[in-house]
Amino acid sequence: MSGRPDLNELRGKLDEIDNSILDLLEERMATCREIGNVKRENGMDVYVPAREEEKFKALEEIAGFESRPYVRDLFKTLMDISKVHQNKPAFGVLGRTLAHTYSPEIHSLFDSSYSYSVIEREPEELETLFKSGVFKGFNVTIPYKKNACAMCDELDDASKTTGSVNTVLFEDGKVKGWNTDYFGFIYMLTRKGISVTGKKVLVLGTGGAASAVFYALKTLGAAEIYACDLETEINYSNVYEKAGDAQVIVNCTPVGMFPKVDNSLLELTKFASLEACADVVYNPSRTKFLQEAEELGLKTCGGLAMLVAQAYKSSRVFAGDTAGAEQLGNPDSAEGAAYVPSEAAEKIEKVIKILENRMRNITIIGMPGSGKSLLARNIAKVTGRTLVDLDIAFAEKFGQTPAEVLNGPGEDAFREMECEIAAEFLPQSGLVISCGGGIVTRDVNKFYVRCNSNVFYLERPLTALTDKNRPISQLHGVEKLYSQRKDKYESWCDYRVYFDRYDEKQAFYDAAIAEILGKLG
């Protein structure tokens, strides 16, 4: 009997195979889309029947005996799907280097009626691209927004005013340009209840993002807009003197962006009338600038909402719904520039939530011995995310375990080293991270724990905790540690999850995983 396969093991194996098939299918569809673009560029037919029949015969010859009877039907279906995908109207995002763009995923979530590619071009290749006819249109990112504006025959008001185009459509023999960034910024503010009407607003930076922000602020009726940069009249040496009465501050610089997350430009406590802070940076999701504002009780909003909302307006243009696009951010509409139809808002919020959860780490904090490490390992297995146990990362980096450092140089030395590990891993994206129980003992770690994570405080009854191989718990006792750390666990987390004792560990893991992933939707 011992040699017979176990049903659960076989199902697990099948799940792994299916996951691999999905990865390969994603790669195949992307390659088919690229083939379609190349064929259009060279004036070739997308569908070649003779090539398809040759492919069927070749695949049947190399197929294994169990799959051979099904190969033709399977690949006929695959090729039919591929033809549909290749023949979709082709759009994309144009830039010079776009290794980390989220645009293809965002557009696929909004509308599947068109395909979406990454279009990397050098400046001297832009004119050829605009005349090629390969794409029906594209989004434009840095450094080409002003180039795109100059190449358009027709422009919307935002593009005319800003001199910047981020959405291009080839239609009726003309090149039409829109700027949807300003709508993204308006949406970003309004979803968090931040009003700039009649307010004094300080804008940090004067680059491409700032031009759309200035347009949006004027559209929303800001009373006064200060521009601050290195060489402007108001700069970082005199900003407190000349713009100290700012009520809203907007960061349009890359300061605080991953990987240089520790940077921030201003001392917010010097702005006595400050009510809110907005940051166009979206990685990390909670920049140092925004966390400092949160600590002061100010309203805040981050750049992911701007990224998603501007993409939604672009998607309406690409899908042929220009009337729907023009309704968004329209200052002349009866409802005002901030109005968004409920159906559009629901779609935007859904995509924000999907991306936010995908980009953010699942980070677990809590008492030593509460089961954080093994729970994190199980979550990583279920989600397919990379696991980072900060205690293991500590040992790999320093060549000593936390226990060895605690028993040697001592706790102060260990905490300093732990801060280095926190700063290295917690600002990253899409991980599952298990933190040491004492990470909350150093206030500096709060920024790192919260900057790019959905933070879960795993709360267990003290009687369920173990102090085995935990020198600090053994030295001070879990009751004392809990009383010292409880408030910080609660204030640092986004979600508290409580689990009593479980007779079976797997039952605890199953319940905890279901609750944690359930909270993330």
pLDDT tens-digit map of 14-24? 989 999 999 99
Neighbours of 245 (CB within 10 A): 13
- Domain identity same for 59 and 96: no
Indicate the pairing of strand 174-178 with strand 167-171.
antiparallel
What are the Cα distances from residue 19, in Å, to 185, 383, 384? 37, 11, 10
Q: How many helices (H) and strands (E) does the chain have?
A: 22, 16
Paired residues of 167 in beta bridges: 139, 178
Q: What is the pLDDT of residue 502?
A: 82
Tell me if 341 is assigned to some domain: yes
- Domain identity same for 313 and 397: no
Output DSSP code: residue 385: P
Q: What is the pLDDT of residue 5?
A: 80
Tell me if 13 is assigned to some domain: no
Q: In whole angstroms, give the CA distance from residue 438 to residue 111.
A: 45
Q: What is the pLDDT of residue 359?
A: 95
- Domain identity same for 83 and 146: no
Q: What is the CATH number of the domain that holds 280?
A: 3.40.50.720
Q: What is the pLDDT of residue 514?
A: 96
Q: What is the pLDDT of residue 421?
A: 97
- Domain identity same for 120 and 210: no
Handedness of CA 151, 156, 157, 159 (dihedral sign): negative
- Give the residue numbers spanning the domain of 381: 360-519
Q: In whole angstroms, give the CA distance from residue 23 to residue 30.
A: 11
Q: In whole angstroms, give the CA distance from residue 335 to residue 329.
A: 10
Residue 366, sorted as left (phi over 0), alpha (psi -120 to 50) or beta, turns out to be left
Q: What is the pLDDT of residue 470?
A: 59
Q: In whole angstroms, give the CA distance from residue 133 to residue 148.
A: 15
Helix (H) or strand (E) holding 323: helix 322-327
> In the chain, which residues have pLDDT < 70?
1-2, 464-477
Q: What is the pLDDT of residue 288?
A: 97
Question: Amino acid identity, residue 32?
Answer: C
Active site residue 57: no
**Six-digit token string for 110:** 């909004």
Last residue of a domain, one of 87, 113, 139: 87
Residues 313-353: pLDDT tens digits? 999 999 999 999 999 999 888 888 999 999 999 999 999 99
Q: What is the pLDDT of residue 230?
A: 93
**Six-digit token string for 398:** 């320093």
Q: What is the pLDDT of residue 467?
A: 59
Residue tagged active-site, from 13, 83, 131, 145: 145
3-state secondary structure of 410: coil
Tell me if 390 is assigned to some domain: yes
**Six-digit token string for 178:** 């829109």
- Domain identity same for 486 and 372: yes
Q: What is the pLDDT of residue 480?
A: 86
Residue with tokens 């807009």: 225
- Domain identity same for 149 and 53: no
Q: What is the pLDDT of residue 44?
A: 85
Indicate the pairing of strand 174-178 with strand 200-204.
unpaired
Half-sphere exposure of 349 (CA within 13 A, CB side): 11
Question: Amino acid identity, residue 268?
Answer: L
3-state secondary structure of 140: strand
**Prediction pTM value:** 0.90
- Domain identity same for 397 and 498: yes
**Six-digit token string for 225:** 């807009």
Question: Amino acid identity, residue 72?
Answer: R
Q: What is the pLDDT of residue 279?
A: 97
3-state secondary structure of 118: strand
Q: What is the pLDDT of residue 472?
A: 59
Tell me if 2 is assigned to some domain: no
**Six-digit token string for 177:** 């340009």
